[in-house]
DNA sequence: ATAGCCCTCAAGTCCAGACAAAAGGCCGTC
DNA sequence: GACGGCCTTTTGTCTGGACTTGAGGGCTAT
């Protein structure tokens, strides 16, 4: 049987972790590795390419591949739809619309979304509950010049997230995470004390260069995001 | 010139975002696509494979490839070494060791790291400054039964992170993000008010199944982590 | 019915060979 | 000595062909 790229990848990784090939040192070229493993160069290439994607090695034409000095640590977080996230925990999901209005975007939203002055947006405030307890507070702004349908859509029974996914399923987004203190509204909606530290995720989504929506998601007290790598 | 896998990937993605191929629908097979693009099947395969990795499509043998119902949203955050993170912002980096001790791990640390009762650890408290302003507070615990060298290492001038990378460059880790309130020590070290909301990252690292180190990184007030996808 | 077996189909992987592209190094000219 | 332009090395990608693997579907014997 032929040698698989997984075996090669695992073996190379083993040599690196065992210290045979130290950080900063040069790894044999693809041609040489192909010969030692008795595989085609394409196979070795795939193993090496994945190691580079994983941040283990660094590759450059002409110079060759070397083990990274300090391994590039990168964590992938899944950003699920809230409903799915809650249901996967085995909890009952409930949604509530708190506020809904059509307004000219306030300045800070305009800045975040890159809208023209006087740009109209649909502003929604929603709550997501897990087993009856408040789970997430959603403050969403939808650009009506890109999505005029949002003017008449009904968000009383289903969250805007699921509606948006149906409208523009694929888009680019920028996401940022920070800690914030509960203000009066948040403390009431999330059933926590004024000033409690809360995890806040902001996401702005664009499609064909135009801002579609900006959302600020504030989680219940004590929420944590976890990833492995 | 031959058709590149990037062109094919971009074209397929275009058809999906334009709505030619709707979420949930089946995409033509690799063989058919190879013919329409005039490329080899391996080339089409690479394009499709990457689309699957990006969470755009779902692939199954026998049944074929279909557009995901709701695109899997996942964000990749780079977790750089603090010093690098600060220097890349063009700020001057300064490190300070606040506390250093050899102790039996307290219960909560033992639980987090999965240590035996009475397990000895090196406990360090450090501060990282950017342009003189406190940037990050580091509360680190190192398992001495895995890394006995940590007993005598000197952390007065360089942070434990860089020392650890040299000892065990490659390891598995679990990372979790949450919001926390500044206690007395944090508010003093990070120059903020008592109770201020702060972004906290916890990371526990293991190597060959053994817990190596657990660290709690608390950032200065207002810090945010950003990613794009 | 139902458990077990085989066939088929589509993705997954591999190969040997070829050319492309980036990035060093070398050499000659000015 | 400085500046280009050429050569070489190494990774990056494409081809066309083959075999492998996993999952469905259907057939058969119990």
A159: distance to nearest CA of chain B, Å?
14
What is the overall mean pLDDT for chain B? 92
Q: CA torsion, points B113, B114, B115, B116, in degrees to nearest 10?
A: 160
Backbone dihedral angles phi then psi of residue A42, each to the nearest 5 degrees:
-55, -40
Domains defined for chain B, CATH in brackets: 5-67 (1.10.10.10), 76-228 (3.40.1410.10)
Contact between residue A33 and residue A65 where contact means Cβ atoms under 8 Å apart: no
CA-CA distance, A160 to A212, in Å (whole number)?
12
DSSP codes, A149-177: GGGT---SSS-HHHHHHHH--S-EEEEEE
pLDDT digits (tens, 9 = 90+) for B46-100: 999 999 999 999 999 999 999 998 877 888 888 888 998 899 889 999 999 999 9
- pLDDT bracket for residue A229 (50, 70, 90): confident
Verify if strand D has an atom below 7 Å from the CB of B212. no
pLDDT digits (tens, 9 = 90+) for A100-126: 999 999 999 999 998 988 889 999 999
- pLDDT bracket for residue B204 (50, 70, 90): very high
Chain B residues within 8 A of A23 when measuring between CB atoms: 169
pLDDT of residue B144: 94
pLDDT of residue A155: 92
CA-CA distance, B215 to B193, in Å (whole number)?
23
Closest nucleotide C1' to the C-alpha of A38: C15
**Interval A29-37 mean pLDDT:** 95
How distant, in Å, are the alpha carbons of A2, A54, A67, A204, B76 from that of A171?
A: 41, 25, 35, 10, 16
Backbone dihedral angles phi then psi of residue B50, each to the nearest 5 degrees:
-65, -40
pLDDT higher than 90, residue A168: no
Quick one: what percent of chain A has pLDDT higher than 90? 74
CA-CA distance, A115 to A151, in Å (whole number)?
17
CA-CA distance, A184 to A202, in Å (whole number)?
20
What is the overall mean pLDDT for chain A? 92
Chain B residues within 8 A of A216 when measuring between CB atoms: none
**Interval A205-213 mean pLDDT:** 89
CA-CA distance, A87 to A66, in Å (whole number)?
44
pLDDT digits (tens, 9 = 90+) for B137-179: 999 999 999 999 999 888 998 889 888 888 887 778 899 999 9
Which of A155-159, B18-22, B148-152, B170-174 shows the lowest mean pLDDT across its residues?
B170-174
- 3-state SS string for A33-83: HHHHHCCCHHHHHHHHHHHHHCCCEEEECCCEEEECCCCCCEEEEECCCHH
pLDDT of residue A1: 59
pLDDT of residue B1: 58
- The residue ranking higher by pLDDT, A3 or B27, is B27
CA A185 to chain centroid: 26
Q: Which residues of B, range 147-166, sit inside 8 Å of A by Cβ?
A: 162, 165
By Cβ distance, the residue of A72, A170, A177 closest to B224 is: A177
CA-CA distance, A177 to A114, in Å (whole number)?
20
pLDDT digits (tens, 9 = 90+) for A60-87: 999 999 999 887 788 888 888 899 889 9
Chain B residues within 8 A of A228 when measuring between CB atoms: 172-175
CA-CA distance, B121 to B151, in Å (whole number)?
8
User: pTM, whole model, 2 decimals?
Assistant: 0.86
B17: distance to nearest CA of chain A, Å?
6
pLDDT of residue A166: 81
Quick one: what percent of chain B has pLDDT higher than 70? 100
Q: Which residues pair with A214 in a beta bridge?
A: A141, A204
What is chain A's alpha carbon radius of gyration, rounded to the nearest angstrom?
24
Give the residue from A161, B196, B34, B77 showing the smallest Cα distance to B12.
Answer: B34
């Amino acid at each position: 049987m032929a040698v698989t790229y997984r075996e090669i990848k695992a073996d190379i990784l083993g040599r690196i972790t065992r210290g045979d090939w130290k950080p900063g040192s040069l790894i044999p070229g693809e041609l040489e590795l192909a010969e030692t493993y008795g595989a085609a160069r394409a196979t070795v290439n795939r193993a090496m390419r994945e190691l580079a994607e994983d941040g283990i090695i660094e590759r450059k034409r002409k110079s060759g591949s070397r083990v990274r000095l300090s391994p590039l640590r990168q964590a992938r977080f899944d950003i699920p739809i809230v409903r799915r996230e809650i249901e996967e925990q085995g909890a009952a999901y409930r949604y509530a619309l708190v506020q809904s209005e059509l307004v000219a975007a306030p300045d800070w939203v305009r800045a975040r979304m890159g809208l023209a002055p006087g740009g109209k947006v649909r502003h929604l405030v929603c709550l997501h509950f897990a087993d009856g307890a408040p789970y997430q507070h959603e403050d969403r702004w939808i650009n009506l010049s890109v999505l005029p349908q949002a003017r008449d859509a009904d968000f009383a029974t289903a969250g805007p997230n699921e509606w948006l996914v149906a409208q523009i399923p694929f888009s680019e987004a920028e996401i940022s995470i920070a800690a914030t203190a509960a203000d009066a509204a948040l403390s009431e909606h999330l059933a926590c004390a004024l000033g409690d530290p809360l995890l806040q995720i902001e996401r702005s989504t664009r499609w064909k260069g135009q801002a579609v929506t900006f959302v600020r998601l504030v989680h219940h007290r004590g929420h944590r995001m976890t990833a492995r790598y």
